[in-house]
Amino acid sequence: MRRTAALILLAFAVFLTALSPLLRWYAYPRLARIPANQYQAVVLEARNATLLDYGTMQARTVPKVTIVQTLKGDVEAAAEIDRTAGRDVVVWDGLSYVQGPDGKMVSRVPERYIFDAHSQEPVHATGETVDGDPVRRDGIEFKWPFLTQKRDYEYFDAQTRTTSPIHYKGTRTFRGLRVYYFEQTVPWRKVPFPKSMPVQGITPESVARTGTTRWYTTVRRFWVEPVTGAPVYGEESHKEELRGGTLLGGRDKVTAFAGDVKMREDYVRSTVALVEHNRVLILMLTSYLPWGFLGLGLGLAALSLYVEARGRRPAEPAPGRTGEPEPVTA
């Protein structure tokens, strides 16, 4: 009976020990993925910012500029690209909508971002665009990979349509979470005008005919939770200028926008709560269950050996018996 129990315990021990690496190295890479139907919205604000009045072409200080960024998964487009790419793909339709203190539109820039659901690497397919212009992304955008490392990454900038390093600057604590801090500086670059302009009748083509150009620079900062690869907070020191041409009335340049763009507090709280929840799910596959199963398997193996050893010990004689045969008398 004891030998049967020892064999059962040993079988469970072998099963759990074998399951441990399977969860970490087989199940995790296949189960950890960005859902194709994800929807997310973030509101950012720049207070006491400088904003160009296109009616007078004069820069003025305004109490607040609001940027609403939305990401919406296109399930049908992702499924179609899945069949040709041979891997799980996510298609995000993004929109960056900027409005002034009066609620009127300043700019509206749509994007289509296509990437691998597991690694977050960009997937080059038809429809990859920024403001309607075809692009070829190299590097990440919006989200870091699962299990982010302490190193620099290549990050795509939608304004310049270029990729440059975003640098790891150290580990910090943000709202009780251990995060990695990343920073990227984009130097002054000439960039296209948005196709949606704030004044009716003004188009990028009509502005281009005046000889006026748009220039942009920013310092981009992210606080990234490393297990999920999700930014829990982000901000930018953002500047835009119009330079040269007849549109400026003889001036060399005028500030179109300047301000420190930061996430609104209510969206910071909701983002942190979402990341904390997803972090536990990832850790279940990468740490909690694999190590738990391994420890339980080793414990059951030790218990089976103990039960087997107990079964092999000789039985003790009954009380009152010496173990020698009693004499027989007639």
Q: 322, 330, 274: which is closest to 41 by C-alpha?
A: 274
Rounded Cα distance, 284 and 278, in Å: 10
pLDDT of residue 14: 87
Count CB neighbours of 136 within 10 A: 10
Helix (H, G, I), strand (E, B) or coil at 9: helix
Contact 42, 249 (CB under 8 A): no
Measure the CA–CA gap between 58 and 78, rounded to whole angstroms: 44
Listed as ranges, residues in the chain with pLDDT below 50 are 330
d(CA 159, CA 291): 44
User: What pLDDT does residue 200 have?
Assistant: 79
pLDDT for 330: 46
Residue type, 191: V
Of the candidates 239, 141, 130, 238, the one whose C-alpha atom is nearest the C-alpha of residue 182 is: 141
In this structure, is the dihedral angle defined by the CA atoms of residues 191, 195, 199 and 201, taken in order, positive or negative?
positive
CA–CA dist 63, 58 (Å, integer): 16
User: What is the side-by-side order of every strand in the sheet holding 39-53?
Assistant: 133-134, 129-130, 105-116, 89-99, 58-73, 39-53, 253-263, 230-243, 213-225, 177-191, 162-174, 153-157
pTM: 0.88
Give strand pairing partners of 107: 98
pLDDT at position 185, please?
97
E strands present in 192-308 = 213-225, 230-243, 253-263
pLDDT in tens, 188-240: 999 999 998 888 778 888 888 889 999 999 999 999 999 999 999 999 999 99
- What single-letter DSSP state applies at residue 77? H
pLDDT at residue 304, rounded to an integer: 82
Are the C-beta atoms of 63 and 48 separated by less than 8 Å?
yes
